Amino acid sequence: MKIRKNDLVLIISGKDRGKKGKILTAFPKERKVVVEGINLRKKHRRPRRAGEKGQIIQLPSSLNVSNVKLICPKCGKATRISYKVVEGKKFRICKNCGQET
């Protein structure tokens, strides 16, 4: 999977299309990512102790990695990623500007 934790991404499909966010968690085997502030769902929490109130909290749920595009830190555009191997080290390369990301 070409997208990692802490990458800035653009949502390209779904109800949050056009929004930007940071990757909180990546699940490479399932090909899913959790993006900060995107694809929120509501969870109803019951009171645990006497005197405590129940509440509704919003939690981010996972998205398929095909619905996000990496935003290149160098050129600032949403882009695809390729890899380049130089002296045994692997680097991610922006398809738009050709710079290392």
- Supply the pTM of this predicted model: 0.84
> Confidence class of residue 1 from pLDDT cuts 50, 70 and 90?
confident
Per the domain annotation, does 99 fall within a domain?
Answer: no
Q: What would the mean pLDDT of 44-59 be, rounded to a whole number?
A: 92
For residue 21, what are the domain limits?
A: 8-73
Per the domain annotation, does 78 fall within a domain?
Answer: no
Q: What would the mean pLDDT of 24-47 be, rounded to a whole number?
A: 95
Per the domain annotation, does 101 fall within a domain?
Answer: no
> Confidence class of residue 32 from pLDDT cuts 50, 70 and 90?
very high
**CATH code for the domain in which residue 15 is found:** 2.30.30.30
Per the domain annotation, does 57 fall within a domain?
Answer: yes
CA dist 99 to 2, 3, 47, 75, 91, Å?
15, 16, 52, 9, 10
Per the domain annotation, does 86 fall within a domain?
Answer: no
In this predicted model, what pLDDT tens digit does every residue of 59-80 receive, in sequence order?
Answer: 999 999 999 999 999 999 999 9
Count of structural domains, the chain: 1
